[in-house]
Homo-oligomer: A and B are copies of this chain.
């Protein structure tokens, strides 16, 4: 945790940005909720618990800043608001994917990079230099299979 914060600070410093207390709070909230997909407002509420004087605008600006440095990523699950997750690169983990249950809305993380071979092919066939990808798979999770038309 401390290590990651230090690294982020270094990243910011390298571009003349400061790691302020407010920014650190935002970062901590994101780090402590790696498994979640918080919206800006959710981050705001969590930061507010520790630093009640924070403003929503600051949270938005901080998220934007982190996003620009690839410290976090935004994901869109179609609910009309951006959601943020700590970028795996920073921890040495793989980029992950999401399984989204159309019935109960559950989101399952897939912590494997399943696309290596596929990327090679695309990269070759389309003469496209890949830096990143995002895969969402929709369907029914184990709890909901067979329930499709129940309600």
- Which of chain B's residues have a CB closer than 8 A to the CB of A137? 119, 122, 128, 130, 132-134
The verdict on A21 contacting chain B, using a C-beta distance below 8 Å, is no
Q: Are A139 and B135 in touch, CB under 8 angstroms?
A: no
Number of A residues near B (Cβ < 8 Å) is 33
Closest to A143 in B: B127
The verdict on A92 contacting chain B, using a C-beta distance below 8 Å, is no
The verdict on A74 contacting chain B, using a C-beta distance below 8 Å, is yes
The verdict on A114 contacting chain B, using a C-beta distance below 8 Å, is yes
- Which of chain B's residues have a CB closer than 8 A to the CB of A135? 133-136
Q: Are B138 and A132 in touch, CB under 8 angstroms?
A: yes
- Which of chain B's residues have a CB closer than 8 A to the CB of A140? 128-129, 131
Extra contacts, 11 of them, besides A128-B139, A130-B139, A133-B137 (Cβ < 8 A), are A74-B78, A76-B78, A108-B128, A114-B121, A114-B122, A126-B141, A127-B141, A128-B141, A130-B137, A133-B135, A135-B136
